[in-house]
């Protein structure tokens, strides 16, 4: 609703793998410590796996040891959308791609990580696509 990229769930289902669809379109969570970008330190840009929007840059990725890729800041604050999430008996802040509305993960604040923002964007690897920097 109101996203720049507006596809039917049937279209998304055709374009995404079952694991991608479950996380991106059904707000699922990949199992901790299993994602392909969990420990990645490659320099580059992380795009939305559903629509290709630039979401995070590798220079904001940090080792949170939480089991999912963690970033302290989005590439652009308008690249992501934050929504209150009261599922599973918790109050959390959901992070979505602002361009296509796909679920990315959650953001947590004030946990004491030594980062410039003290925010942890805890993002599923399966929601992202790393485009390594050339050269």
Shortest distance in whole angstroms from residue 47 CB to Zn ion: 8
- Give the residue with the Cβ less far from Zn ion, 60 or 127: 127
- Give the residue with the Cβ less far from Zn ion, 101 or 113: 101
Would you call 122 a catalytic residue per the annotation? yes
Cβ–Cβ under 8 Å, residues 94 and 85: yes
The contact set with Zn ion (CB under 5 A) reads 48, 50-51, 53, 97, 99-100, 102
Catalytic positions are: 122
């Amino acid at each position: 609703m109101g996203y720049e990229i507006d596809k039917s769930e049937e279209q998304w289902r055709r374009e995404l793998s079952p694991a991608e669809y479950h996380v991106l379109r059904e707000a699922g969570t990949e199992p901790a410590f299993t994602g392909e970008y969990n420990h990645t330190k490659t320099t580059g840009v992380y795009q939305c796996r559903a629509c290709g929007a630039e979401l995070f840059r590798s220079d904001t990725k940090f080792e949170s040891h939480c089991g999912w890729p963690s970033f302290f800041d989005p590439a652009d604050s308008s690249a992501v959308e934050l929504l209150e999430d009261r599922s599973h008996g918790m109050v959390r802040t959901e992070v979505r791609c602002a361009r296509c509305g796909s679920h990315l993960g959650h953001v947590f604040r004030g946990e004491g990580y030594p980062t410039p923002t003290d925010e942890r964007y805890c993002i599923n690897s399966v929601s992202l696509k790393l485009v390594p920097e050339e050269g």
